[in-house]
Amino acid sequence: MKFKRYWRVWVGLVISGVLLWLAFRGVDWPSLGRALMAISWTSCGIAALFFLTNLIVRAVRWRVLLASVRKLSLLDVFAYSQIGCLSNILLPLRMGEFVRAVLVGQRYGISKSAVLATVAVERVLDLLNLLVFALVLPLVMEMPEAVRQSVLLTGIVATLAVITLLGMSWQERRIERFLGQASSFIPRPLRGRLINPIIIFTRGLRVLQSGGRMLSSVVCSLTAWVLVLLEILFIFESLSLALPWYAGVFLIVVWNLGIAVPSSPGSIGVAHFLIVLALSVFAVDQARALSVALITHGLSFALNIVLGLAFLWRENISFSRLSKVSASV
């Protein structure tokens, strides 16, 4: 029974193991060691600062979106953003997005459905920014067919998501009336679990009707993605990799298109394989590509764990509570 309950976790672990093996298969270990030993810690430190700034900018964006539900301090929003990132590392299936919504709702007396609506808007903004990055690439390089098809699929998903969220926001009253009428056909015990969350989720999308807040959110999103690009470029610099700027854009696109693949918590294996795969297009040898993968993934992994643990302590939240929240979603 336990295997059936956690089959997604086991599938993720297997996929991570296979991709990790593929990433390291046939690697020249002495070359990998020399590449890591020759790293410029100054450039690596600058990359870490860009990554940290990216996290802060993302927290600013979420605070702007949450303001339509309740105004919170930037420190509080940053705290729960990082607890969500830590949950993505510790829990399977990127449950951190749901965990932070539930925890914020519990902590500040907000409906988790309303908070989840702001998280959904965040994810759509990220998809749109990924598409912007991807659309730049054909102007400066030949795109592999697999990446081209993945970008097309992502564009379709993003378009449908935008239409759905905007439609729900603009037709809030009609949706409420429809659900109110439909509730008479639903057993009373299920009404609170099905109807109310949808209504509250729709109300949480009112932020889409605020031009000022959406403009601020879009600016924050673009800034965050540019900061990620700068982080990648300085990681290239730390390893003395003379690559064009669009190699960093291509790496970001391939990495983010691929993280939808089920894997173990923290995307271990998937991230490494995708980064090696992306850099192979620019004829980067396996050892140096793996060095980029280890530093890029390790940097985000370490900072998210440190910050997440610090804010877990600050908010007096236990690991068992994270697990219970995840199980309740």
pLDDT, tens digit (0-9, with 9 covering 90-100), for 182-209: 666 666 666 666 677 777 788 778 888 8
Alpha-carbon distance of 90 to 305, in angstroms, equals 9
111: in domain: yes
* Residue 3's pLDDT band (cuts 50, 70, 90): very low
252: in domain: yes
260: in domain: yes
11: in domain: no
Alpha-carbon distance of 159 to 261, in angstroms, equals 21
Nearest partner of 207 among 170, 177, 174, judged by Cα: 170
* Residue 96's pLDDT band (cuts 50, 70, 90): confident
Q: How many CB atoms lie within 10 A of CB 158?
A: 19
Question: Which domain does 322 fall in, by range?
Answer: 48-328
What is the SS3 assignment for 133?
helix
- Please tell me the total count of domains within the chain: 1
Alpha-carbon distance of 322 to 102, in angstroms, equals 10
- In single-letter form, the type of residue at position 270 comes to V
217: in domain: yes
* Residue 227's pLDDT band (cuts 50, 70, 90): very high
Alpha-carbon distance of 94 to 304, in angstroms, equals 14
Q: How many CB atoms lie within 10 A of CB 203?
A: 19
Whether residue 1 is predicted with pLDDT greater than 50 in this model: the reply is no
Q: pTM higher than 0.75, yes or no? A: yes
Alpha-carbon distance of 241 to 39, in angstroms, equals 11
pLDDT of residue 188: 66
Which of 16-30, 131-145, 174-188, 262-276 has the least mean pLDDT? 174-188
More confident residue, 173 or 69: 69
149: in domain: yes
90: in domain: yes
Whether residue 68 is predicted with pLDDT greater than 60 in this model: the reply is yes
pLDDT of residue 183: 67
41: in domain: no
